[in-house]
Structures are given as C-alpha cells and as structure tokens.
Structure 1
Amino acid sequence: MDEFSSAFSVPVAQLGATTLTLGQLLSGGAILVVILLVLLVLGLWRSAQARALAAAEAAERAREFETRMSEIMRSQAEMQGRMGTIAEVFGSRQAELTRVLGDRLDGLSSRLGQSLTEQTKSTHENLAKLQERLAVIDTAQSNIQSLAGQVVQLQQILSNKQTRGAFGQSRMEAIIADGLPHGAYEFQATLSNGNRPDCLIRMPNGAPDLVIDAKFPLESWNAMRDAGQAGHPEAAKSAAQAFRRDVEVHIRAIAEKYFIQGETQDTAFLFVPSESIFAEIHENFENLVQRAHRSRIVIVSPSLLMLSIQVIQAVLKDVRMREQAHLIQGEVVRLMEDVGRLDDRVRKLHSHFSQASRDIDLILTSTEKVTKRGAKIEALELSTDEEASEKSRGAASAPANGRLRLHVVEDPD
C-alpha cells in the first residue's frame, strides 16, 4: 500500500509553479472521464434530437415536395390541356392560313397569268408598231437617200452658171404659171427695143406690162458665202464688195433695158430664187435695197412673188367681172321680167282658187239643203181631211184623181 501511495505521490508534471502528481492526475482523469461521458451522453442526445429534427424536417420537406410535385403534376396536366387547345387552335389557324394562302396564291397566279398574257399581247402590239415604225423609217431613209441624190443634182445644177440661171427661170415660171391664167403672161417676150425680159405680166384695161427679171448674180453670192465659211475675212470682204457691185450693175441694166414709156410699167421685179438670200440681202445689204427702190425695182423672193401674183390675179378677176357687169345686168332685167310674169300668173291662180272655194261653199250649202229635205221626206205623215165617220163626204169632196194631200212644212232656206 505504501508503495502504491508512494507511487501516486510521485510528481509527473509541472504546470508553472504547481507540481502535479500521478494521483492528482488520476483523480483529475476520473473527473475528466465523467465529464467526457456526460459530454458524450449530451452529444448523443443532441445528435438524436438533431436526427429527429432532421427527420422531421426531411418529412416536412418530403410533404412539401409531394405537395409541390402534385402542384407540378396538376400544372403539367393543365399545361398539357392548354397545349392541346393551343395545338387545336394552331391546327385550325394553320389550316385557315393554308387555305387563305392557297386562295391568294391562286389569285396571284391568275393575276400573274393575266398580266403575263396582257404583257405578251402588249409586247406583240409594240413589236408590230415598232416594225411599222421601222418600215416608215426605212421608207424615210430611202426618201432621204433619194433627196440626197436630188440635192447632189441640184448642187451640180447650181455649180453651172447657165443651169443655175435656168433653175431661177424655171422656178419663177412655175410660180407665175400656177397663179395666173393662160394669156395673162408671156415668157421671153421681145420688147420694142429688142430686149427680152424673162417674163411679162399682161396688165388689165390696156395698162402697160409688168417686167420680171430672174437673172440674179448668184456667182458672186456663192463666192462671198464660201469665203465666209472658210474663215477668211479679207476674202469675204472683197467678195461682198464684188457682190454689191454685180447687183448694182444688174439693177442699172434692168432700169436701162426694160423701162419703156407706155409699153412697160415704171416698176420692175428682180426675182431672187431663195428666201435665205433675200433675207441676207435685206439684213446686210440695205444700201442695195435702197438703190433698187430708187431705181423703181423691187427685189422679190418666191413668197413675195407668189403674193404679188395673187394680187394681180384678184385684179384680173375684178376686171373680168366688170367686163361682164352689163351681161349680168341684162340677165337680172330678164329675170325680173320673168318674176313679174310669175307674180301675175300666181295672182290669177289665186283668184281662180278663191272663186272655186266660193263655188265649193255654195255647193256644200245646196247639198246640206238636199240632205235636210230628204230627211224630212223620209219622216212624212200621211192623213185624210176627215175622220172615218166622214168617209162618205170625204170621198165626195176628195180630189178626182184620188190623191192624198201631203202636209209639208217648207224650209225657209
């Protein structure tokens, strides 16, 4: 025992200033074990309580889970019903949409086909019109080619002085021949002085003839135009001076050759065969125009010559009408005599008709009287002088011829 007690009293640990023996350690260990046991029991109780609480929470969670699952199943069932309804609505809408799309596609196809047909028809018509226009263009092109050939021929004609003069002469003759009657003019006539103007217009009432000259100096005009187109101002200026000089010489020649007192008019026409040349002269050569006016020579273009011819034609027509005035007056006198005789005959016929109308009225009156008398005769009443009681006396006093008397009332008419 002493050994055990001494053994329990042996120091085994030093905590600061305190020395711990084995016995103290063993007694403290027992207490520690008790404490540990108590703590273990408390831990087991707490763990059991925690497990119970966890089991309760798990059960509660299971119940919540089942509730949520039932709600989810119910929602799923509702969702499936809604999905079925949506599927049915979607199917019906899809069928309707398919039908509408089919109708629209059919209408679109028909309109597209109709539009294609109309477009094809319009294209054919346009192609036909285009072919017609191409044919017209071909015809116009052929006409242009022929016109170009004629222009070349005209250029060849105008390049020669004699042929150019013949061209102006022919154009002047065509205008005069179209506007005046035959016999009112004469081409290349010979005057008393031996000169031969291009044309003489026979004026009415014994008036002197009108002279028309068609020999316009186109050579100097063409030279001036060519110099201007070539861009040579000096050459153009000299050509213009030459043209002015040639025109002045020609105006003086007309005044000297064709003005004869009592035979020709104191005014003559200088014919220019082109409107453009006529306009150029009046625009850039005013002094030539004034010189011609002072010489009593009128420069005329084709249009002015045509207008002058129309005026002369009107004058000739008025003269012919004045010449025929006495014939017209005689015819009017005879016409008035015929009208007078017609008036007398109409008056006689009217009197005959009036007499016949009166006779017809008298005849109608007589026929009415005859009709009335016939009606009265038809309604006559036959009677004796006495009644049946006086037959014997009536027989004795009756006329010998046995006739009955008629009681007739005369018509005062």
Structure 2
Amino acid sequence: MDSTLFTLGDIPITLAMAVASAVGLVLVLLLVLLLSALRSGRARAAEAMAQQARSAELERHLAGLMQVQSEMTGRMQTMSEIFGSRTSDLARLVNERLDSTSQRVGQALQETRTRTDEGLSKLHERLAVIDRAQSTISALSSEIVSLQSILSNKQTRGAFGQGRMEAIIADGLAPNAYAFQSTLSNGSRPDCVVVMPNGAPSLVIDAKFPLESWQRLSTASSPEELRQAQSGFRADLGVHIKAISEKYLIPGETQDTAFMFVPSESIFADLHEHFEDVVQRAARARVVIVSPALLMLSIQVIQALLRDVRMREQAHLIQKEVRELLADITRLDERVNRLQTHFTQAQKDIGDIVISSGKIARRGDRIDAMDFEDQPRLAED
C-alpha cells in the first residue's frame, strides 16, 4: 500500500495517495453533479412557477376575453335587434317613399301627358294657322308680283299713288269738301282740290311722284350708277316741283301752298335724310312734300276747321234755341211757384182739417164718458 507507484516531480506517488486522490476526485465530481442537479431543479421550479404564473395570467386573460366576448355577443345581439328594427323601419319608409314617388311620378307623367296633348293640340292649331298664313303669304306673293307689274308701268304707277291719296281724302272729308280731277281756271287738272272753309282758296294736292327715277336708286350696282341715279332723281323731282308751282298756285283761286303726295313713308324718310336740298327747293317753291301720315293729319285738321265753321254758321240757331229754352225755364219756374202756392194752401187746409178732426174726436170721447143712468135719479130728487 505504501509502495510508490510513480514519481511526480520530486514527490513520490503511492497507491494510498492515488486512491485518496481518486476518492477526492469522485467526491468532487459528485459534489459538482449535486450542485448542478440542485441548480437545474431550482431552474425547473422557477420555470414551473413562471409557467404557472403565465398560465394564471393566461387564464385571467382568457376569462377577460370570454367576458368581453360575452359582452360583445350581447352587444351584437342588441345591435342586431336594433339593426333589424331599423332595417324594417327603413324598408317600410323606403316602401312608403317609393309608393309616394311612384304616385308623384305617375301624376307627373299624367300631367306631362296632358300638357303634351294640349301642346300638341295647340301646335296643330298653330300649324293650321301657319298653313293658312302660308296660303295667305302665297296669295300676297302673287299680289306683290301683280303689284310689281303694276308699278312697272308708269300710268298704272300713277294710278296707284292717286288711289292711295283718294282713299285718305275720302275717309277724312265729306263728299262736298273735295273734288278729284277738277279743272282750274288755267286749264290745269290737279289730282285733288280740297275746298277750304269761309270761302278761302282751295288746296291743291298732286300725286304724280317720279317713282321711276326713285327706283333707279335701288337698282344701281356701282357708285357711278348711284351718282347718276341721284342726279337724275334730283332733276326729275325739280321739274315736277316746278310744274306744280307753275300750274297749281293761282292767286285768289288756290292756296299759296300746294301738296306733293309721296305714296310711301320710307320714301318720305329717305327724301328728308338724303335729299334735303330737294326738300328745301320744294319749300322755296311753296310745295310741301307730304307722306300718307302727314296727308291724313292735314285732312284731320281741315276736317276740324270745317266742323268749326259749321258750328259758327249754326251759332244763331243755337242762340235762338237757347233763348227759347230760357223762356221755357221761366214758364216752368212760374208754374212751379204756383204749384208751391197750391201746396202751401193745401197744407194749411189739411192742418185745419186735422184740428177739426181732433176736436171731434175729443168731443166724442167726452160723450162716450158720460153716465146717462144717473140722470133720471137726479131728476126725481
């Protein structure tokens, strides 16, 4: 046992030392293993405790989740019930709105149909009117064509102006206040002579306007032709104005002013706008250019003058009638006064009659109040 097994450096190693070292090493290993086992046990215990704590926490979380789930379930049921009632209310409201909308749409469609039918009927009526107007326009077109053919002839054109002038004068004056195509003392025959009141000279009206020269102005296609047409129109109108002044202005027989009738308002306006020199020349020659409107106004003034003259001529008759009317009024006043006197006397007589009747009534009352039974008894006494 004490024999040396080997030498470690200077120290001899015996068997006992080797066994003791081995036993110590085993003990150390055992101790290490025991400590390791204790540590692992503690770790497992701590882990188990942590696992248990986590399990408890998880259970608490699960319980909270279950509670939240139950609450959510209740809320979902409540919301489902609310949504169900709201859905039914909404469906009912939508149905009501749809019914109302359908009714309104149907009514609107009916009204629209009615209005459409009315509009179509009115449209048919207007189309019928348009058709009649179109036929009238067609007739007028043919008449305009015939009018153009009339105006293309100088004689018929003069007759057209003469016709318009005669129509205006015949509508405004009495038949004895004018004369057409009458002969003057110098042998001239104006288109119309208007008889003026109070023996004044007659008014001469000429209707022969140079319309052919005027039409050349509208048919001119170049400035040179337009200038030539204007020059020719001024010359023709000047000749016509001079002829009126020389033939129709007779001292003591006609007025010192004559009328030249223009058969169109547009021509009259263009004359004053573009040919002012011609209008002034006519005024200096004592020739007044008149349109249909001015001629009508002049005829109305003459008609008023004639009416005033007739009233002055009948003034003495009116005065005689007024005097007779005053005499009738005087006689009526006298008769009313006599009637008033009769009424006053009758009223007085009626008053006297009322007084007498009152006395008679009072006497009758007294007679009626007398007691005739007591009279014999008094006589016996």
Q: TM-score range by the shorter chain?
A: 0.7 to 0.9
Give the structure 2 partner of residue 80 of structure 1: 73
Q: CA deviation at 1:25?
A: 7.6
Deviation of 1:385 after TM superposition, in Å, equals: 9.7
Between stretches 99-108 and 217-226, larger displacement belongs to 99-108
Matched, 1:195 2:185: no
Matched, 1:220 2:213: yes
Distance in 2 of aligned mates of 1:377 and 1:270: 107
Aligned partner letter, 2:6:
S
1: CA distance between counterparts of 2:143 and 2:14? 158
Corresponding position of 1:184:
177
Tell me, in whole angstroms, the C-alpha distance in 1 between the residues paired with 2:61 and 2:272. Answer: 117
Moved more, 166-175 or 359-368: 359-368
The runs of 5 or more residues in structure 2 that have no matched partner are: none
**Residue matched to 1:32:** 25
Distance 1:195 1:22, change over 3 A: farther
Quick check: 1:108 aligned with 2:104? no
Distance 1:375 1:291, change over 3 A: same
What's the CA shift for 1:36? 1.9
Within the alignment, does 1:135 sit opposite 2:124 as a pair? Answer: no
SS at match of 2:209: coil
Report the equivalent of 1:261.
Answer: 251
CA shift digits 1:198-253 (9 cap, x unpaired):
111122222222111111111211113322xx2x2222212212111111111221
Distance, in Å, in 1 between the alignment partners of 2:14 and 2:248 is 185
Q: Structure 1 residues 255, 81: CA separation in 2 closer, same or farther (over 3 Å shift)?
A: closer
Deviations 1:95-148, CA, capped at 9 Å, x for gaps: 333333333333333333333333333333333333333334334333333333
Distance 1:130-1:365 versus aligned 2 partners, 3 A rule:
same
Aligned AA (1:329): Q
Cα distance change of structure 1 residues 48 and 143 upon mapping to structure 2, 3 Å threshold: same
Deviation, structure 1 residue 185: 0.9
Q: Does 1:305 align with 2:305?
A: no
- 1:54/1:374 CA distance change after superposition, 3 Å: same
How far 1:75 sits from its partner (Å)?
3.5
Structure 2 residue aligned with 1:171, among 150, 159, 164? 164
Please give the residue correspondences for 1:316-335 in structure 2 after superposition, counting only pairs within 5 Å.
316-335=306-325
2-structure distance, mates of 1:299, 1:326: 40
Amino acid at match of 2:113: T
Q: Could you tell me the TM-score, scaled by structure 1's length?
A: 0.81
Question: Is residue 341 of structure 2 the alignment partner of residue 351 of structure 1?
Answer: yes
Change (3 A) 1:134 1:49: same
**CA distance, structure 1, for counterparts of residue 57 and residue 246 of structure 2:** 145
Q: Which amino acid aligns with 2:230?
A: A
Aligned positions of 1:14-413 closer than 5 A: 29-227=22-220, 230=221, 232-382=222-372, 391=380
CA distance in 2, matches of 1:18, 1:95: 109
* Shift in alpha-carbon separation, 1:48–1:158, aligned structure 2, 3 A: same
Distance across 2 between alignment mates of 1:100 and 1:209: 94
Residue segments in structure 1 that go unaligned for 5+ positions in a row: 12-16, 395-413
Give 1 or 2 for the bigger CA radius of gyration: 1
Number of equivalences: 379
Q: Distance in 2 between matches of 1:139 and 1:368?
A: 90
Q: CA RMSD in A?
A: 3.0
Q: Which has the higher contact order (CA 8 A, sep 6+)?
A: 2
